[in-house]
Amino acid sequence: MSKLQDTARSLLDAGEVKVAIGYGEGSVGRVRPLFVTDAAGAQGLIYDGRCTQNLAVYTYKKETAAMGKPAVTAGVATMRALMRLVAERQLREGDFIALAVVGDEVTVCRTLSEMENWLAAAAPKPREADMEMIARIEAMTPAERWAFWRGEMDRCFRCYACRQACPLCYCTQCTVEVNQPQWIPVGATVQGNLEWHAMRAMHLAGRCIECGQCGDACPVDIPIHLLTVKLAADVRNVYGAATGMARDETCAMSIFKPDDRENFIG
């Protein structure tokens, strides 16, 4: 039995948590989220390179939140999402336990201080493949960039898997579903898709923790996460703000400095 399974079993046995949220074997070599409510089920928990889905989403989704206090298997991205949810007052200390995992090592984090320390030591970086692709797009001419994104948006059929996979898209009513005013047309048109994805990127500016799950969840492989990851990199470079690292961080878009950069304003 792995250390992760052992840890989850003892937490469930002790009644410290009601459910262990982690990864389990799925079909055709894939992994799926696993919700373990009894100690015996803990043997299904795994953690390996395939386990990239951000499990922080299940801390607030209605059905899973109703299961009771969770112990969440947390790689770096999931941990950052949990911390960001704390910073945005969606979770509180004691609402959850994080089982911080690196390879076979498991650290049980009960307090926010433990999580912050673990994150600081983990020193998260954006995914290399994402940054490479962003650099490639930035090297294009504006017309090529437009053609690239127009082509990608042409395939989007608005299933909103990107939103559902995002740990920070927790609004109970999304602007895309508002119809007074109707900001974004309901049908999947290129322009509407552009508006939807640009809006989502803007709403995540200064908040995105760069897990890339919106792009990974896309059934037609639109690299939609590049928009949010690009803005996350900008916010970090321009305003020096980290996301998902500490409980008391703000959002770079809701604060300002009088001497913020404005080299484009005449």
Partner 1 sequence: MDFEPKIVAFVCNWCTYAGADLTGTSRIKYAPNVKMIRFPCTGRIDFMLLMKAFANGADGMIVSGCHPNDCHYTSGNFHARRRWTVFRSLLEFMGVDTERIAFTWVSAAEGAKWADVVNSTVEKVRALGPCEAYKNADYE
Contacts with partner 1 by CB under 8 A lie at 134, 137-138, 140, 142-150, 153, 183, 189-191, 194-195, 198-199, 201-202, 205-206, 227, 230-231, 234-235, 238-239, 252-254, 256-258, 260-262, 264-266
162 or 205: whose CB is closer to partner 1? Answer: 205
Q: Which helix (H) or strand (E) holds 146?
A: helix 142-155
Q: How far is the CB of 217 from partner 1 (least distance, A)?
A: 20
- How many angstroms from the chain centroid is the CA of residue 139? 27
Residue 58: CB minimum distance to partner 1, A: 29
- Shortest distance (Å) from residue 150 CB to partner 1: 6
Q: Strand 97-102 vs strand 70-74: parallel, antiparallel, or unpaired? A: parallel
C-alpha span between 266 and 93 (Å, rounded): 46
CA distance 17 to 206: 32
The residues, ordered by sequence, that sit 6+ positions from 204 with a Cβ below 8 Å of its Cβ are: 166, 168, 169, 228, 231, 232
Minimum CB separation of residue 212 from partner 1 in Å reads 16
Nearer to partner 1, 63 or 260 (CB): 260
**Phi, psi dihedral angles at 101 (to 5 degrees):** -120, 135
User: What is the C-alpha to C-alpha distance for residues 72 and 36, in angstroms, rounded to an integer?
Assistant: 10
What letter would DSSP give residue 258? T
Look up residue 182 and give its DSSP letter. B
Q: Which is nearer to partner 1, 65 or 190 (CB)?
A: 190
Phi, psi of 226 (to 5 degrees): -65, -30
CB of 240 to partner 1, least distance (A): 13
Number of neighbours of residue 242 by Cβ within 10 angstroms: 15
Q: What minimum distance in Å lies between the beta carbon of 234 and partner 1?
A: 5
Q: Which is nearer to partner 1, 10 or 250 (CB)?
A: 250
Output 27 or 264, the one with its CB closest to partner 1. Answer: 264
Closest to partner 1 by CB, 116 vs 152, is 152
Q: At what angle do helices 190-204 and 142-155 cross, to 10 degrees?
A: 100
